[in-house]
Amino acid sequence: MRRRRLSPALTAAALAAVTLSALPAAVPPPAAAASALPASRPAAAPDRSVAVVDSTTARYTPSTIGGWSYPVGLYLYGQYLTYRRTHEARYLAYIKDYVDRFVKSDGTIEQSFNSLDSMQAGRLLVILHHETGQDRYRRAAKKIRDRLNTYPRTADGGFWHADTASRAHQLWADGVYMVNPFLVEYGREFGDSAYANDEAAQQLLVYGSHLQVANGLLRHAYDESKSVGWADPQTGLAPEHWCRAVGWYSMAIVNVLDAIPASHPRRAQLLGILRKLATGLERYQDPATGRWFQVIDKGGREDNWTETSCSSMFTYALSRGAQRGYLDPHYAAVARRGYQGVLAKLSTGADGRTELADISVGTNVGDYAYYAARGRATNDFHGLGAFLIMNEQLRGD
């Protein structure tokens, strides 16, 4: 693949000229340009992705949007998907300006990568290398790849949620999204797919083998040592199905299935996990709203509430899974109900900017009361990023 070598300034004009012959593994191809509609037809539906990106970039500059973190990384990945469709150069320039706060010209990045959470924004490094060809991004991404060689694991090979005493021996469903989409995209971009695909598939299997239970859903976390306060002393499992944790897993398994070859030896097992999960998600979808509850399987409790980020994640995964043949086609209709439910949480404020409501703030592992009492934020990056990923998948439906 030939790439344009762009100057560090990366002007909007230069960005507009960039073309790609391939995309990172989990990125769908750009939609074909719509032909002009006759004047007699109704006006086109609003471009909600553009509205969310324009509103968010108006609220924050690349310097004020936040530090190196997975919520910002998730949001900016969604912004990148919007760029891939619209080719709006300032969307990519914004991502580059953010990343360049952390990556020096020689590729140095001052992150220890001692948690899976800290690795998620590494997807932006792969994207920027793909778009610009600048070696600094390869060097920075390689630091994450190399860290995995020494990163602590459970006895059966699962990456700990973090390399700290408080997270030792623990697998959180959140963690599979923090590292595995990056990993398969890194492998594709830098010729390391033999390792990356095998590792990502194995991580999903290890996590799934511990976290998935009979109803198809995943518990939030598992403690191999069975010593932490939230862990069941017999199983090591957390007590609840927290929706965003399961949402992270659902997106990650679809991303990895998109990346690995049809002949991969673990593919059939991954499909089995996804299909069992989809059955559970359909069962617990709120019939009144199309969304999913903060504690997925306890929607009947008065203090439970439907949460926007996980509803976006499930909607994306079910739609993508049905589209790609991983799931039965009827799940497309389940996804459409979810999509309409999430859209009901999007509004326009008096300032003309979008508002996305009922997004759970960041959450540790806890009991039912803990999850039900979590703050319900508006325009939290967890929700904005998940919304953009979902909307770019379903906007044509």
Q: Which residues are catalytic?
A: 174
Report how far apart the first and last C-alpha atoms of the chain are (Å, whole number).
33
Q: Are 187 and 196 in contact (CB under 8 A)?
A: yes
* Residue 11: other Cβ atoms inside 10 A: 12
Ramachandran bin of 334, using left for φ above 0, alpha for ψ from -120 to 50, beta for the remaining angles:
alpha
Task: Report the candidate in 385, 227, 396 with the shortest Cα–Cα distance to residue 312.
Answer: 385
Alpha-carbon torsion 134, 391, 199, 195, what sign? negative
| Beta-strand runs (E) in 118-186 | 170-172
Angle at 37 between CA 32 and CA 39, to 5 degrees: 165
d(CA 286, CA 278): 14
What SS3 class is residue 393?
A: helix
d(CA 371, CA 298): 11
Query: For the stretch 31-48, what's the b/e string if a residue is b when 16 or more beta carbons lie within 10 angstroms of its beta carbon?
Result: eeeeeeeeeeeeeeeeeb
Task: Report the candidate in 362, 190, 216 with the shortest Cα–Cα distance to residue 280.
Answer: 216
Query: What stretch of H or E contains 244?
Result: helix 243-259
Phi then psi for residue 253, to 5 deg, are: -70, -35
